[in-house]
Amino acid sequence: MSWLAIASGMREHCGVPMALPARLTAALGRHPDHLTEDDLQRAVDNQIPESVDLDWKKDFYQGTDAGKKELAKDVSAMANTAGGIIVIGVDDGKKDHAHDLAPSEPVQGRGEEWIRSVLANWIQPVIPNVGVRPVKSTAHEGKIYWIITVPPSTRAPHAVAAPGNDYNFRVHVRHGTTTRTLAESEIAQRYRDRFQAASDDVDRLRQVADAGRSYLSDYLTRTVDGSSAPVTYYPGWVSLAAVPTVRGTYPLTTRADRDAAFSRFHDLACHGVTLNARPDHPPLVGRRQVRFEGFPTGQLHQDGSFYAAQTISLHNDQRDADGPQQMSQRAFELDLVTLVQAAAAWAAETGAAGDLMLSAALHRYDGSDKLVRLVVNESAFQRGPALPFPTAPAQTTGDLAAIVSDKREAVVVACALASDLLADMGAHQPHILTPEGNILTDRLNDGFRHQLTGWES
């Protein structure tokens, strides 16, 4: 099963998963990505009303500039508000509810590519991940409906302007069942909101990382019944913190909620390129979060934020017991890919959307300042210089939907993080991860290849 199918829960999305208002699925009886003509007929029978996130349209957009502008205005208004769907081929009867089915003949040259071209050329900045899907009519042979799904956007406000006319643009929002134009003062506030949101995301990422490191430190230094603290045996760790730019929501108030969320994440974590992000049972009590200890140790936040840390094997050089400790670069790179996948899976599970901001770091918790030497191939004695762990984390941003739906995108993100951390340890580039999203399996020995559960050799 693919990551996309898993992260969609019981839904089986076709394409990029859309984070849309839950009200839509409840009202329509099915996720918008899977609406059929029968579902649209039920909407008519039940007279489902238009709303801020649902727009019924009888006729397809004209191919004129006025028609293109209307399409851009409708889509940008939803992205600027709360996201939603536009259904073309359902007449509202001028009563603001689904009144009758009205599929149309396909128009030559005005299909999906035309819609996407209009949106790309008439909206600034471009709205990412807009879904465009034709639905064939079975009751009216040869006719179709169009369903346009618009996710909430972190790049709002999106303005509408004719190509080449950047100085005459308008910003629209949904207002009940209609669309209105924002005044200049409102546009200025939207831009302030965007920049404030970006600052808030950075603060949230730092908060999640700090809380996760503190929790990990407490776990590693804790002793039980006179036994040695875990840090005695596992001093080195790699951690990943992640925050979605469009926050999700997941009920974690009760013990039952947390148990259910943990079980769900446990299943999700079994489908990465390795099983190393799968947490140990049981989940622990946490306020608005699920906590787990062991290998890995981490926290799942109800807004889709994520923290997890995995132990790094540090061992002495058999030929020089007093020399720098050694660290497997290949194991580190694979763990980073798996943690990126796990972070994206949890964010998607909570209904988060937009970009995923990530921060990765290497830690020592034994108070040691020993130098560490990267080892990329033990048998060939390929070793880097001896250096301490980097003190600064590596940070990057990726498209959440892309990471969830394509494991190679997760490799691209992990490669960016690994490149920065490894550079501080004297490595010119990752050994098995490539910027194009490949894992060079020919550089893995049998032990590492056997770890790969979600990657074709």
pLDDT in tens, 323-370: 788 888 999 999 999 999 999 999 999 888 888 999 999 998 887 778
Q: Which residue segments constitute the domains of the chain, with CATH numbers given?
A: 3-182 (3.30.950.30), 204-451 (no CATH)
> Is 0.75 surpassed by the pTM of this model?
no
CA distances from 146 to 48, 67, 68, 136, 309 (A): 18, 15, 15, 9, 45
Q: Residue 109, class by beta-carbon neighbours within 10 Å (0-12 exposed, 13-18 middle, 19+ buried)?
A: exposed
For residues 365 and 314, is the Cβ–Cβ distance under 8 A? Answer: no
Q: Residue 447, class by beta-carbon neighbours within 10 Å (0-12 exposed, 13-18 middle, 19+ buried)?
A: exposed
pLDDT in tens, 234-285: 999 999 999 999 888 888 888 888 899 999 999 999 989 999 999 988 888 7
CA distances from 282 to 292, 296, 343 (A): 7, 13, 19
Question: Looking at the predicted structure, is the pLDDT value of residue 95 above 70?
Answer: yes
DSSP per position, 91-149: E-TTTTB--EE--BPPPTT-SHHHHHHHHHHHEESPPTT-EEEEEE-SSSTT-EEEEEE
